[in-house]
Structure 1
Amino acid sequence: MNGRITLAHGDGGELSHRLIQEIFLTAFGSSSAPLMDASIQSMSAPRLAMTTDSFVVKPIFFPGGNIGKLSIAGTVNDLIVSGAKPLYLTCGFIIEEGFPLQDLKIIVQSMAEEAAKSQVSIIAGDTKVVERGSCDGIFINTTGIGAIYEHQHPMPDGMKEGDSVIVTGSIGDHGVAILTARNELGLRTEVLSDCASLNGMLEEALGNTKNIRIMRDPTRGGLATSLVEICEDFKVTIELDEEQIPVRPEVQGACELLGLEPIYLANEGKALIIVGKEEEAKLLEVLRRHPEGANATVIGRVTGTQKGQLQLRTVFGSSRRLNRLSGMLLPRIC
């Protein structure tokens, strides 16, 4: 890989995939292992899952949340979709000289509130202050630790033809909320970010539903990129039904105006779940008991276990293959 880092390398799409595979995994670990939202370590019980993330969202305050709430929810969600009960978080702050103390108080308070809601403890932290112009206000890094649900964690190797693909609600809300907040394109909407911790809902789903194959947090690169990664990592073919994918009219309108596809927009409070067909109704019942899952919907099926492709059946009845997000779409959305 030659050249220089571009903003597109941070968008969760094809360039991000190549960067991780060709540089980081080559240096730090096996490039053949499936990439999950958290690393599960084989230790004496309870096994632990650990994840780390950095948050550079622009702007730091946006409709429905701020960088602080996002940092907690994003870390919690990475753990729960990996089949781990979130327990502890650490946080590191890089703060630019001149950053308003009142804004910092609001951000930290929102972190405390989201952590309390998620029943996780923030047990360590660090603060660094850099010269004016060295960063864009504030960046936050987190590490999350959770305990694996040994008897009810997802089993991706069990995916088979006929399995149901479920999304827990409308897609693209966070991406459009960030676009609106930036005021760069004259876009005005009432869309709020879906930024939320999902561990309460997904813990109940794991405890009450059998045969959950895999869960994913479709953030950067959106729903399509997350499912492409599942298809390629586990050699399954999935067909999505475009008519069944929930998209708010305001989000659809913004996408049509800007030439974007909702399936590639970031989400910060949605989960993708693949489950055995026989458990589909039960899982939907559990999800819909929660505000975050009230609009949970079956959007597709596993149709094969060899090719490793994601297909979309369009509203016109045709079919097309979906790939990872290619190029830059929305930098710094999380």
Structure 2
Amino acid sequence: MTEDTHISLAHGNGGRFMRELIESVFQRHLGNPALDVQADAVHLALNGADCLFTTDGFTVQPLEFPGGDIGSLAVHGTTNDLAVAGAEPKYLSLNAFIEEGLELALLDRLIASLAAAARAIGVQVVAGDTKVLRRGEGGGLYLATTGIGLALPGLPLGLDRIRAGDTVLVSGPVGDHGIAVMLAREQFGLRGELCSDAASVLPLTRAARDLDGLRFMRDPTRGGLASVCHEISRATGLGVRLRETDLPVRDPVRSVCEMLGYDPLYLACEGVVVAVVAPAQAEALLARWQALPEGREACLIGTLETGGERVLLETGIGGERLLEELEDDPLPRIC
């Protein structure tokens, strides 16, 4: 198979192939045991300050889609990684890889959108670089970002804090971004009014910070909710049990997935938080999220259990389905 000797699109989907690529090449050569390679952001001590550092790249097609564009997505995607790690985002760098032939008016709109998104959450773009690619060597515009935030004292979050019996929450419906981008491409002759959920998750993470039972947060981007659950299961040795009847999925997302054979649990979200919390504080976190516009559709969706590494879905008809780790790439170029 080409996966054994050559890179495929599946190596960038957030699933098993991407994990194995990172472990076998990047982590093998660059791994640092002092840093948490499983996190979206890492702690760095700089002159006594505890900072969180992250980096990301964005290659979405089309560049503009209902609910967002590559500019605002770059800001939200990078700062969300800092927010779920327990930081207040402060600074960004920006690298723009521009394909020859891109309309200047489009580039201006995208960077204006990026700037507006940064201002709205109080972060500054303080460094950057541009490169122009030959026509045909890019997708119009690629963006690469680095983010720095200040870690908040007394907020230890991590996979190592998760315990059997803990509760899993999600702050809103899953799969919106993946399906909205796919419909914007019109590759399947489908159209709809669904918008991407791309947005800042800072209001959600700020509302959760002072709960001492908060264990872990993650934004389910590439690979979706199911991939986050597999990450949790691999790191803890525990099983994740999800309840299908409690999972928030919008009807348009469900309909498109049923028509085309996708599973919304594996589709990217760009404004949603998955949290693991001690069971005694699950209802408190749920109430806080549901009181916010960004979290009004938040749900308690599952639990952590002993019995080995696996992700199980309790179906609506009373059965169980094993959710396998993502392999094939369902929707390339969505973030």
Alignment check: 8 A CA contact 1:180 1:189 kept: yes
- 2:163 corresponds in structure 1 to 160
TM superposition score normalised by structure 2: 0.95
Deviation digits for residues 185-228 of structure 1, max 9, x if unmatched? 11222110000011132122213x22111001101111001110
Alignment check: 8 A CA contact 2:161 2:216 kept: no
- 2:328 corresponds in structure 1 to 327
SS of equivalent to 1:215:
strand
- How big is the shift at 1:277? 0.9
1:107 maps onto 2:101 in alignment: no
- How big is the shift at 1:42? 4.7
Alignment check: 8 A CA contact 2:100 2:135 kept: yes
- How big is the shift at 1:183? 0.7
- 1:65 corresponds in structure 2 to 68
- Whole-angstrom distance in 2 between the partners of 1:150 and 1:66: 34
- 1:52 corresponds in structure 2 to 55
Aligned ranges 1:209-248 → 2 under 5 Å: 209-248=211-250
Aligned ranges 1:163-174 → 2 under 5 Å: 163-174=166-177
Gaps in structure 1 of 5+ consecutive residues: none
After alignment, is 284-293 or 254-263 more displaced? 284-293
- 2:150 corresponds in structure 1 to 147
- 2:178 corresponds in structure 1 to 175
* Letter matched to residue 228 of structure 1: H
SS of equivalent to 1:47:
strand
Alignment check: 8 A CA contact 2:159 2:235 kept: no
Instruction: Report how many aligned residue pairs link the two structures.
Output: 332
Deviation digits for residues 146-178 of structure 1, max 9, x if unmatched? 111121242432322221100000000000001
Alignment check: 8 A CA contact 2:75 2:117 kept: yes
- Whole-angstrom distance in 1 between the partners of 2:133 and 2:46: 39
- How big is the shift at 1:132? 1.4
Picking from 91, 94, 102, the partner of 1:91 is 94
- Whole-angstrom distance in 1 between the partners of 2:158 and 2:17: 28
- Whole-angstrom distance in 2 between the partners of 1:202 and 1:324: 27
* Letter matched to residue 270 of structure 2: E
* Letter matched to residue 99 of structure 1: L
Q: Percent identity?
A: 40
* Letter matched to residue 62 of structure 1: F
- 2:285 corresponds in structure 1 to 283
- Whole-angstrom distance in 2 between the partners of 1:314 and 1:46: 47
Alignment check: 8 A CA contact 2:204 2:273 kept: no
- 1:315 corresponds in structure 2 to 316
- How big is the shift at 1:294? 0.9
Structure 1 residues 43 and 321, CA gap change in structure 2 (3 angstroms): farther
Deviation digits for residues 116-162 of structure 1, max 9, x if unmatched? 11111111111111221121110000000111112124243232222
- 2:125 corresponds in structure 1 to 122
- Whole-angstrom distance in 2 between the partners of 1:155 and 1:17: 18
- Whole-angstrom distance in 2 between the partners of 1:157 and 1:4: 34
* Letter matched to residue 269 of structure 2: N
- Whole-angstrom distance in 1 between the partners of 2:39 and 2:159: 11
Deviation digits for residues 217-257 of structure 1, max 9, x if unmatched? 10111100111011101222110001100000000000000
4+ residue segments displaced more than 6 Å: none
- How big is the shift at 1:46? 2.5
- 2:21 corresponds in structure 1 to 19
- Whole-angstrom distance in 1 between the partners of 2:109 and 2:190: 26
- 1:198 corresponds in structure 2 to 201
Alignment check: 8 A CA contact 1:14 1:325 kept: yes
- How big is the shift at 1:34? 5.3
After alignment, is 26-35 or 112-121 more displaced? 26-35
Deviation digits for residues 82-123 of structure 1, max 9, x if unmatched? 111111100010111121111111111111111111111111
- Whole-angstrom distance in 2 between the partners of 1:112 and 1:328: 31
- Whole-angstrom distance in 2 between the partners of 1:48 and 1:145: 7
TM superposition score normalised by structure 1: 0.95
